[in-house]
Structure 1
Amino acid sequence: MRNQEIIKSVQYLRGVAALMVVCFHFRYFLNDTYAQKDLGDALFGSGAFGVDLFFIISGFIICYSTRKPDSPHPVAAYALKRFFRIYPLLLFSLLAFVLLFGADGYSVLKSIIPLQADYSDKGPFFGYNLLSPAWTLTYEISFYLLFLVGLAISQKHRRLITAGLIVSIFLLLQWALNHAIELSAYTEYDYPYGGLVRPALAILSSPMILEFVCGIALYSIFMAAPDLPEKTSMFLKPLLLGTAAISALIYFSGDFYGHGLTRWGAPSVALILSLLLYERLNGLPDVRWLFFLGNISYALYLTHIIVLQAIRTYGVRFGLEGAPAFAFAVSLSLVAATLVHYLVEVRAIDACRALLKRLSTTPRRAPRLALDYQKF
């Protein structure tokens, strides 16, 4: 299990996470239509938990993708892979959004960096982004940069160094800004500096950044998990599946509503860990549509908001209401994400692979496309 190319539980969960965020944003199609007026909110009001899943999964995948150096220049290779994973699709999506709906140059520039719109606003969103779901990319890129430092210091100890950096910086900034350690992602602070220092303080002092550390920890647990006797495995399997089911149900209970470790983050950790360990013991079946959903998850996450804005702006609903309108919008988002995935993401991966081949003095045979997404 440790040597497999794709960890199915992670691949499937990232697809589910993206789809739940889509359903969260499209839930209003189901409201005020049926006898239960808040049907959309009841079904998908907690769909934004996908963000917390993404952050934890990112911590896991970055560790997994760097477990063995695949280049004589691992730091440069890592930086290239992260750039080509994030920016081609982000730039394409921003361009499409601006062409369709317009935007001022300053907002576009901040969104390209990417920075959130307003750091005087409440965290963890800080006014979102021009392309609203992209507010999370500021956290992702900050984590990538800190991991880059850890990787540059030591390949072997990259996880410990990165986790130590994140936790140390978080604790120092929390104490400096708040004179206490606050784990709520919604705490407001009065940041003392302007310019680019302010965004850095806001992101690195946010408890959201700790979710990447949880992903690092889950990777360490998964890789260290021993092979167990069959009797022990048979006992643990239903326990792990039950934990995963309870974790999923917690999302919809409302008891943990909101972002951060003290809210959706806690059940997200339990869900991912239970499925990882179950896969470690028993494997998981091949579910092609879930595998594909995982592949297009980033494209779906970024582009669905363009579909939603187009429906709102241009009224492209063909007279549909309620569940048919919801199904149409989700289906249209899946089609758009699939097209963008092949037209932008796949080509970006090919371009990255070509650059890595030039960088390497011993070019390797390119892995199959189906295996790219936990390497990138």
Structure 2
Amino acid sequence: MNTVQVNNYSEKQVLISNPANLKQKKALYQVDLLRAIAATGVCLFHFICGNSKFLDRYNLIYKPFQFGYLGVDVFFIISGFIICYSFPSNYQTKNVITFFKKRLLRVHPPYLMSISLTILVAYTAALYTHNPVHVSGLNLFYHFFYLNNFTDVTYITGVYWTLGIEFQFYIILGLLFSRMCKSFYYLSGIILFLLALSWINIDHTHLIFGHTPLFCIGILLYFILFNYQYPKVILLCLLVTSLIILGYNQTASFYTSLFTICIICIPFGKNKLVQFLSGISYSLYLVHIPVGGRVINLCLRFAHNNYEKYLAVSIALVVSIITAYFFHLIIEKPAIRWSKNVKYFRAA
């Protein structure tokens, strides 16, 4: 990015004062670590705790990994943080369509291909199990637009509901982020409004309302770490408020959020394994159930003692990671490239 002299400020001063330049210079290895932990945790949760016929709840490895589902909470906090981090410094509400295009190109193609993979695996397995598989055209239509979150029609893979939540968040943030950057009062009002939504008495985890404190934590972390104009004390108070509201009914989510905050605030060095797992984390999240879950189902026939079952979990994880790696190379990387090719309008 070319740096120009503005209002007689030096080049160095412009670089320091421009959040976009700061964002380019700072590598967020701590976010890589969180992605790696969250994706692996969700995988192990589904492999170990997802099939009641596989391991009982009193098993040695069941107890620690029964909380692996909290990786979803980590992903929601990361989204609140990293989406704010990715916005250009001159983002305006009129850029919202561009933002949606970028997110859709980044997330949607791998999602659609994982649906195809899931259906293919299900029909292939049905040839041997003789269990009928039926996916209606209406269900596929709902999947395409993430509408299952608003209906009683279930997703063909359990993790897809979180993508529906993500897109609900994209709509909110895309429309409101420029306001958050304009004024501290706007930011405070929007955060308090989003937190108030979490108190809406709707018994539906597939709507964003109950998850807004997690996204707010990510948003506030961004402004605490990268905005040097807003008062830190008030931002920290809002962060604590988010944690209190979250912890009121969700103790496990409260501690998970504290852990995530600590990791984001601590600088970490580069680690090849962590970067690898972080790089394929979205692909791993998408394919681990249709691939690793099938490995577990297959091993049910052959694994008779705990050691064989532990081996089955290891095999399922390795096979899922290998599949995710190739899925990332073939499907996800082009999607990342397409998303990057969509540019925001620059301010005149």
Select which of 243, 268, 281 maps to 1:297.
281
Check whether the contact 2:295–2:312 (CA below 8 A) recurs between aligned residues: no
Could you say which residue in structure 2 is the equivalent of 1:350? 337
Deviation at 1:6, TM superposition (A): 2.4
Give the secondary-structure state (helix, strand or coil) at the position aligned to 1:275: helix
2:313 to 310, 326, 340: 326
Q: CA deviation at 1:302?
A: 1.1
1:268–1:317 distance in 2 versus 1, CA, 3 Å: same
Q: Does residue 1:203 correspond to 2:207, yes or no?
A: yes
Letter of the 1:209 counterpart: T
Distance 1:52-1:110 versus aligned 2 partners, 3 A rule? same
1:269-284 to structure 2, matched below 5 A, reads 269-279=257-267, 284=268
Please name the residue that 2:32 is paired with: 11
Distance 2:329 2:50 in 1: 29
Q: Paired residue for 1:336?
A: 323
- 1:131 equivalenced with 2:157 (yes/no): yes
- In structure 1, C-alpha distance between the alignment counterparts of 2:30 and 2:115, rounded to whole Å: 31
- What are the equivalent positions in structure 2 for 1:356-371 lying under 5 Å apart? 356=343
Distance verdict in 2 for CA 1:260–1:75, change over 3 Å: farther
SS at match of 1:267: helix
Q: Which residue in 2 is equivalent to 1:79?
A: 100
| Counterpart residue number, 2:270 | 286
When residues 30 and 307 of structure 1 are mapped into structure 2, their CA distance, relative to the original with a 3 A threshold, is same
Q: Is the partner of 1:39 in helix, strand or coil?
A: coil
Q: Give, in whole Å, the separation in 1 of the partners of 2:163 and 2:50.
A: 27
1:188 paired with 2:203, answer yes
Could you tell me how far 1:271 is from its partner in structure 2? Answer: 1.4
Residue by residue over 1:184-203, the C-alpha shift from the partner in whole angstroms, topping out at 9 and shown as x without a partner, is xxx637xxxxxxxxx9xx72
State how 1:1-376 maps to structure 2 within 5 Å.
Answer: 3=23, 4-28=25-49, 38-69=59-90, 74-101=95-122, 102=133, 103-116=135-148, 119=151, 129-151=155-177, 153-154=178-179, 156-157=181-182, 161=186, 164-165=189-190, 167-168=192-193, 171=196, 174=199, 178=201, 188=203, 203-204=207-208, 206-223=209-226, 262-279=250-267, 284-311=268-295, 315=298, 319=302, 321-356=308-343
Contact 1:89 1:345 in 2 (8 A): yes
- Greater mean alpha carbon deviation, residues 23-32 or residues 6-15: 23-32
C-alpha distance in structure 1 between counterparts of 2:183 and 2:35, whole Å = 24
Secondary structure of 1:156 counterpart: helix
Q: Deviations over 1:186-223 (max 9, x none)?
A: x637xxxxxxxxx9xx724x321221011101112222
Give the drift of 1:109: 1.9
Q: CA deviation at 1:349?
A: 1.6
Q: Which shifted more, 324-333 or 216-225?
A: 216-225
Note closer, same or farther for the CA distance 1:28–1:207 as it changes in structure 2 (3 Å cut). closer
Residue identity in the other structure for 1:324? L
Contact 2:48 2:313 (8 Å CA) reproduced: yes
Q: Judging changes above 3 Å, is the alpha-carbon distance between structure 1 residues 307 and 336 closer, same or farther for their aligned structure 2 residues?
A: same
**Judging changes above 3 Å, is the alpha-carbon distance between structure 1 residues 65 and 144 closer, same or farther for their aligned structure 2 residues?**
same
Whole-angstrom CA distance in 2 between matches of 1:173 and 1:317: 40
Deviations 1:90-146 (A, max 9, x none): 1011111122224222222222221336756xxxxxx75222101111111111001
Q: TM-score, normalised by structure 2?
A: 0.72
Q: How many residues align?
A: 295
The 2-side partners of 1:67 and 1:355 are apart by 13
Residue identity in the other structure for 2:168: S
Residues 69 and 119 of structure 1: CA distance in aligned 2, closer, same or farther (over 3 Å): same
Q: Aligned-pair distance for 1:297?
A: 0.9
Q: Which runs of 5+ in 1 are unaligned?
A: 121-126, 179-186, 190-198, 227-257, 363-376
**Contact 2:39–2:284, Cα closer than 8 Å, also in 1:** yes
Counterpart-to-counterpart distance in 2, 1:166 and 1:134: 26
Structure 2, gaps ≥5 residues long: 1-15, 17-21, 123-132, 230-245
Alpha-carbon deviation of 1:317? 7.6
Letter in 2 for 1:168: F
Q: Secondary structure at the match of 1:188?
A: coil
Q: Is the 8 A contact 2:48 2:54 kept in 1?
A: no
Aligned residues with identical type, % of pairs: 25
Inter-CA distance 35–299: structure 2 relative to 1 (3 Å threshold): closer
Q: Could you say what secondary structure the match of 1:132 adopts?
A: coil
User: 2:160, 2:184 → 1: CA distance?
Assistant: 26
